[in-house]
Amino acid sequence: GKVVPWEGACSDVVSPLFAADGSRIVIGRQAVFTPEASMAAVEAAARSWARGRGEWAQKSMEQRIAAVELAVHRLKERRSQIVEVLQWEICKNDADAAKEFDRTMEYIAASIAQLRAAESTGVVCDGGVHAILRRSPVGVMMNLGPMNYPFNETYATLIPALLCGNSVVMKIPNLGGLAHVLTMEVYAECFPKGVVNFVAGRGRDTMPPIMRSGKVDLFAFIGSSKAADSLIREHPQPHRLRSLLSLDGKNLGIVLPDADVGVAVKECLAGSTAFNGQRCTAIKLIMLHESIADDFCRRFSDAIAALPAGPPFGQSAITPLPEPEKPKYLAELVDDATSKGAKVINERGGETDRTLVFPAVLYPVTKEMRAFHEEQFGPLVAIGKYSDIEEVLQHLADVHFGQQVALFTSSAAQGSHQLSHILDSCALATCRVNINAQCQRGPDSFPFAGRKSSALGTISVSEVLRAVSVETMVASKSHAETWG
Ligand code: G3H
């Protein structure tokens, strides 16, 4: 294929960073698709899929792997540009931006290895029936990635979908989308015409017509559950739409009275402030047993005050925020909590310099406050306290989030009855309990999932390959010799 030049409207992409004279910095341009242009993208994908008779769907697994490996090679040639654009556009620091790229390449390599391993063992025999199993494509995937991992989390579903023979439409994220603008020509070079298609612009304009068209068979979405629900409702047969969703989270750090407070502080600090707390897996509410609360808060507020803040080029832990409305929202949460009795307990807490917001640590946060319930997705740490662990476990069971918990205790190895009750309760309300460690998605071979409004389906190397394909077989009563 080739990149079709965009002749319609464009908008400036403005960095959260400022020039020395205080002016805004325009770092690129992004297309603003009309509903008609969005429809053209999904129609191109549907034509290339051609109900399974398209060129890409009919290629062998090894032919598809070769195309993806060429794309990986081309992406690696652009590594420094992609890393730099992530820094200018969403302000990941050096280490986080590099990790986003490298982790993605490792994920693709692992997906290829997994696909080959599944194919080589895909022969079964039972009751005299021999079968060759294969993962075959579903059809057209609509893919929407998030602002905080615009490259990595888009690719986590898009590349497996391509490896399995699907055609795709990628809605470029409004924030963090320039990395994709830089890489469009890679897709044009490596894949047949119509297999990879792009849509850019506001989701509310571009997405409803695509979803209503009935041409989307697979929906991969990482973002808010509200947006996911409203898009799925647009599909003519929502119950038939295969969806892979990674959505909201309000992960709890729970510190038990016997915890090593030093470990809990270190892990909760990393878990709540990495990339300014803009991770669905961030620890967004820390619940402390009252017996260790003062000690934890003193150490935590000292540790957070020492975090370097500034531009993302270097080791700054706290960097400017890409979402323009976020500083105002965070200030509202702080005002609400402080008007109801919480205090900002750290130096510089909540200090704002244009797009840079130093995290406010709010304590004690209670159920009456918005910071207790809302997913702040930014630099704000909400800390509450409890006297009876059952209150915390009941809260976990009741909330509509259900992703992960970070549980701090020194008695994990002893396996008491009380601890197994706590672990069971956490595990029944979420999908992962991290003992003495922050919450996180990785390693990427592990299942990343969520209950309630946090997710649908599981993201991991092997599970995504399953989600984007149909297990298909050729079965025979005599020995099934070969297939393809
Ligand atoms: O924002 C949600 C991401 O899946 C978090 O991934 O835990 O590797 O930072 P992470």
Residues found in the chain: 484
Q: Separation of 153 CA from ligand 1 center, angstroms?
A: 8
Q: Separation of 221 CA from ligand 1 center, angstroms?
A: 14
3-state DSSP assignment of residue 7: coil
| H or E, element range at 472 | strand 469-476
User: How much is the pLDDT for 3?
Assistant: 78
For atom 6 of ligand 1, the residue with the nearest CA is 441
Residue 275 CA to residue 117 CA, distance in Å, equals 35
Q: What value does the mean pLDDT take over residues 92-119? A: 96
User: How much is the pLDDT for 480?
Assistant: 55
Q: Which letter, b or e, does each residue of 329-358 get, where b requires 16 or more Cβ atoms within 10 Å of its Cβ?
A: bbeebbebbbeeebebbbeebbeeeebbbb
Quickly state the pLDDT bin for 93 (edges 50, 70, 90): very high
User: How much is the pLDDT for 1?
Assistant: 66
From 279, 430, 448, 459, mutation site for ligand 1 pocket: most ligand atoms within 8 A of C-beta: 279
Atom index in ligand 1 nearest the CA of residue 459 equals 4
Atom index in ligand 1 nearest the CA of residue 440 equals 7
Q: Separation of 180 CA from ligand 1 center, angstroms?
A: 19
CB 141, CB 56: distance < 8 Å: no
Cis omega (within 30 of 0) for bond into 238: no
Q: What value does the mean pLDDT take over residues 77-103? A: 98
Atom index in ligand 1 nearest the CA of residue 441 equals 7
**Helix, strand, coil shares of the chain as percentages rounded to 5?**
45, 20, 35
Q: In degrees to the nearest 10, what's the CA dihedral of 151, 152, 156, 159?
A: 50
Q: Is the pLDDT of residue 481 over 70?
A: no
User: How much is the pLDDT for 479?
Assistant: 67
Q: Is the pLDDT of residue 409 over 60?
A: yes
Could you give the maximum distance between any two Cα atoms of the chain, in Å?
78
Residue 377 CA to residue 321 CA, distance in Å, equals 11
Quickly state the pLDDT bin for 313 (edges 50, 70, 90): very high
Q: Is the pLDDT of residue 8 over 80?
A: yes
Contacts of 353 (CB under 8 A, 6+ apart): none
Quickly state the pLDDT bin for 465 (edges 50, 70, 90): very high
Q: Separation of 244 CA from ligand 1 center, angstroms?
A: 15
Query: Which of 2-11, 89-98, 255-264 is predicted least confidently?
Result: 2-11
Atom index in ligand 1 nearest the CA of residue 279 equals 1
Residue 381 CA to residue 406 CA, distance in Å, equals 15
Q: What value does the mean pLDDT take over residues 353-362? A: 98
For helices 417-429 and 389-398, angle between their N-to-C axes, nearest 10 degrees: 20
Q: In degrees to the nearest 10, what's the CA dihedral of 106, 108, 109, 115?
A: 140
ipTM rounded to 2 decimals: 0.98
Q: Is the pLDDT of residue 193 over 90?
A: yes
Atom index in ligand 1 nearest the CA of residue 274 equals 9
Residue 469 CA to residue 455 CA, distance in Å, equals 19
The pLDDT tens digits for 197-246 are 999 999 999 999 999 999 999 999 999 999 999 999 999 999 999 999 99
| H or E, element range at 15 | strand 10-18
* DSSP one-letter string for 345-381: -STTTT-EETTEEPPEEEES--TTSHHHHS---SSEE
CB burial class (10 A; 0-12, 13-18, 19+) of residue 57? buried
State if pTM tops 0.90: yes
Q: What value does the mean pLDDT take over residues 312-339? A: 97
Q: What value does the mean pLDDT take over residues 386-412? A: 97
Residue tagged 């399974």 (tokens): 52
Instruction: Tell me the backbone φ, ψ of residue 407, rounded to 5 degrees.
Output: -110, 125
Q: Separation of 52 CA from ligand 1 center, angstroms?
A: 34
Quickly state the pLDDT bin for 123 (edges 50, 70, 90): confident
Q: Separation of 280 CA from ligand 1 center, angstroms?
A: 6
For atom 8 of ligand 1, the residue with the nearest CA is 441
Structure token pair of residue 95:
């280490």
Q: Separation of 149 CA from ligand 1 center, angstroms?
A: 8
User: How much is the pLDDT for 349?
Assistant: 98
From 251, 440, 460, 464, mutation site for ligand 1 pocket: most ligand atoms within 8 A of C-beta: 440
**What is the distance, to the nearest Å, from the Cα of residue 235 to the centroid of all Cα atoms in its chain?**
23
User: How much is the pLDDT for 119?
Assistant: 83
From 99, 251, 278, 281, mutation site for ligand 1 pocket: most ligand atoms within 8 A of C-beta: 281
Q: Is the pLDDT of residue 139 over 90?
A: yes
For helices 94-120 and 152-163, angle between their N-to-C axes, nearest 10 degrees: 20
Quickly state the pLDDT bin for 7 (edges 50, 70, 90): confident
Q: Is the pLDDT of residue 360 over 80?
A: yes
Quickly state the pLDDT bin for 478 (edges 50, 70, 90): confident
User: How much is the pLDDT for 121?
Assistant: 79
The pLDDT tens digits for 328-339 are 999 999 999 999
Residue 167 CA to residue 187 CA, distance in Å, equals 12
Q: Is the pLDDT of residue 286 over 80?
A: yes
Atom index in ligand 1 nearest the CA of residue 275 equals 9
Q: What value does the mean pLDDT take over residues 380-408? A: 98
Quickly state the pLDDT bin for 415 (edges 50, 70, 90): confident
Q: What value does the mean pLDDT take over residues 271-297? A: 98
Q: Is the pLDDT of residue 2 over 90?
A: no
Q: Separation of 90 CA from ligand 1 center, angstroms?
A: 15
Residue 37 CA to residue 200 CA, distance in Å, equals 10
Q: Separation of 481 CA from ligand 1 center, angstroms?
A: 44
Q: Separation of 101 CA from ligand 1 center, angstroms?
A: 14
Q: Is the pLDDT of residue 413 over 90?
A: no
For atom 7 of ligand 1, the residue with the nearest CA is 440
Residue 428 CA to residue 430 CA, distance in Å, equals 6
Q: Report the pocket of ligand 1 as residue ranges, CB < 6 Å.
A: 148-149, 279-281, 440-442
Q: Is the pLDDT of residue 345 over 70?
A: yes
Atom index in ligand 1 nearest the CA of residue 146 equals 1
Q: Is the pLDDT of residue 75 over 90?
A: yes
User: How much is the pLDDT for 414?
Assistant: 79
Q: Is the pLDDT of residue 391 over 90?
A: yes
Q: Is the pLDDT of residue 247 over 70?
A: yes
Proportion of the chain above pLDDT 90, given as a percent: 91
Q: Separation of 404 CA from ligand 1 center, angstroms?
A: 11
Average pLDDT, the chain: 96
Other CB atoms within 10 A of residue 268 CB = 24
User: How much is the pLDDT for 446?
Assistant: 97
